[in-house]
Amino acid sequence: MGPEGKRLLNIVILGFGFMLMFTAFQTCSNIEQTVIKSFNNTEFHGSGYTSMAIIYGVFSASNLIAPSVVTVIGPQLSMFFSGLLYSGYIAMFIYPYTWSFYTASVLVGIGAAVLWTAQGNVLAINSTDDTIGRNSGIFWALLQFSLFFGNLYIYLAWHGHVHITDKDRQTVFISLTVISLVGCFLFFLIRKPDPEVAPADVTESLLQAESTESSSTVSSPRPSVSSQALDAFVKACKMFVTKEMLLLSICIGYTGLELTFYSGVYGTCIGAMTQFGHDAKSLIGISGICIGIGEILGGVVFGMLNKSSRCGRNPVVLLGLITHYVAFYLIFINITSDAPLAPEAGTDLQAYIPPSVGVALLCSFLLGLGDSCFNTQLLSIIGFTFRDNSAPAFAVFKFIQSIMAALAFFYSNYLLLHWQLLILVLVGFLGTVTFFMAEWMAEIRRRESDYDSI
C-alpha cells in the first residue's frame, strides 16, 4: 500500500473508532434527559441539561491544556484513555447516583478536550492541502453514522413504551458501554504516516515523536516533556487571537449552540409532545436517525466529493444556514414553546399548526444536513489554514465550540423554545458572515502559495 493509501486508511480507522464511541455517547446524550425523568429512584436529583453543561464547560477549559497532553503521550494513547472516560460516563447510567453522575460529567469533559485535539491532529497530519476536504468529509460521514445506529437501537428497544423501566435503561446502557469500549481499542490500529509525505516540520506532527527522538543529534537534545507541554499551551493561546481564528470564532460558537439543540433539546421536545401519541418516546430514536441521515448526506456530498475545492466553502456554509432557518421556522410552528421544560407526562399546549410527526422528522433531517455543512467546512478551513500547528488550532476550535454548547445547555433549563430558536437565528447569521471573511483570507493565502510555487 502506498503512502497515500496508508494515510487514507488511517482516516477510515479514525472514523470507525469515533463512529462506535459516539454511537454510544450521542445516543446517551440524546436520551438522558428523558431517561432521568423516568427514574424511580427518588434520591437521584440530577438534570441531563446540567450534566451536559458541566461536560461542555469543563471541555472548554480543558482545551487549554489538551495540546500539552497530546504532545506528551501522543494522539493514540490520548484518544484511548479519553475514550475510557466516555465509556465510564455511559456505564454510570446502569446504576446512577447523583454524585457519580456529576463526577463522570467532569471527567468526560476533560477527556473530550484531549480526544478532539488528538483527532484534529491525526486528521491534519494524514492530509494535504488537496485531500483535507475529502478526508474531513470521510471522517464526518463515518462519525455521523453513529446517530443512525444508536438511535435505531433506541427505537427498536423502546417502541411502544410509555414509561422507561429500570430494566429498559440498564439493558440499553450496558450495550452502549460495550460499543464505546470497542471503539476505544480501534485507535491502536492507526499507524504513523510515512516521513517523506508528512509535513516538513516534523516536530509539529504529534505522531512523529519517536522519529524525532531518533533523528535528534547530541548537540541538539530533545526538549523536555515540560517544555513540550508549555510550548503547546503557548501556541494554543497565541492561535486564539489570530485574525483568522477570531473571524471563525462566531461560526464555531454557532455550531456549539446548534449542537446542544439537535443533540439534546430537540429530542426532549419530541418526547414531550403528547400529540404525537404513545410512541412519542420512541420517536426520539427516529429523530436521531433522521439527523444522522442529514449529517451523512452532507459529509458525502460536501466532503468526499470535495465540492469545496472547486466552488469554495462559502456556498456550502450558506446552504447550511438556509437549511437551518427552514428547520427553525418549521419547529417554531410545529412544537409547543414549553416542550423543552415539560415533565415526563408531556405537554398539552397547542402549537401554531396541528403537530405533525412528518414535519418534526423533516426538521431533524434538516438540522443534521445544516450541521454537516458548517462542520465539514470548518474542519477543512482550519486544517488548511493551521496545518503546521494543527493540535493547538483544533484545541481552540473545540474550546470555543464547547463553551458555547455549555452555555446553551445551561439556558435550556430555563428558556422556552422560541427564545432558544431566536438565539440560534441571530448567531447563525453573524457566524456565516464572519466565515465568508475568513474564507476570503484563506483564498488569498492559497493564491499566494500557488504563485510562490511557480
Could you report the per-residue pLDDT of 23-76, keeping only the tens digit for each?
899 888 877 877 787 775 567 778 777 888 899 889 888 877 888 888 889 888
Same domain, 40 and 158: yes
pTM above 0.85, yes or no: no
92 located within any domain: yes
Same domain, 255 and 166: no
Q: What is the pLDDT of residue 154?
A: 78
224 located within any domain: no
Same domain, 160 and 247: no
Same domain, 184 and 305: no
424 located within any domain: yes
What is the Cα–Cα distance from 144 to 139, expressed in whole angstroms?
9
Same domain, 318 and 178: no
233 located within any domain: no
> Measuring CA to CA, which residue among 26, 91, 85, 401 is closest to residue 249?
401
Same domain, 36 and 179: yes
Same domain, 187 and 265: no
Q: Which residues of the chain have pLDDT under 70?
A: 1, 40-42, 160-163, 195-230, 232-233, 274-281, 303-311, 344-346, 391, 446-454
Q: Which domain holds residue 72?
A: 1-192
C-alpha cell at 153: 437501537
Same domain, 174 and 262: no
231 located within any domain: no
The number of domains in the chain is: 2
C-alpha cell at 20: 462506535
Same domain, 245 and 183: no
150: left (phi over 0), alpha (psi -120 to 50) or beta: alpha
Instruction: Give how far the C-alpha of residue 335 lies from the chain's centroid of Cα atoms, to the nearest Å.
Output: 25
Same domain, 137 and 267: no
Same domain, 297 and 366: yes
Q: What is the pLDDT of residue 304?
A: 54
Q: Which of 136, 163, 192 is the last residue of a domain?
A: 192
Torsion of the alpha carbons at 121, 85, 405 and 409, rounded to the nearest 10: 170
What is the Cα–Cα distance from 164 to 143, expressed in whole angstroms?
28
203 located within any domain: no
205 located within any domain: no
C-alpha cell at 390: 494543527
Q: Which amino acid is at 18?
A: F
Q: What is the pLDDT of residue 195?
A: 60
The enclosing domain of 52 has a CATH number of 1.20.1250.20
Q: What is the pLDDT of residue 215?
A: 47
C-alpha cell at 41: 429512584
Instruction: Give how far the C-alpha of residue 211 lies from the chain's centroid of Cα atoms, to the nearest Å.
Output: 31
CB atoms within 10 A of CB 20: 25
Q: Which residues contact 448 (CB under 8 A, 6 or more apart)?
A: none
Angle value at C-alpha 51, between 49 and 52, nearest 5 degrees = 65
219 located within any domain: no
Q: Which of 159, 177, 192 is the last residue of a domain?
A: 192
Give me the count of residues in the chain.
454
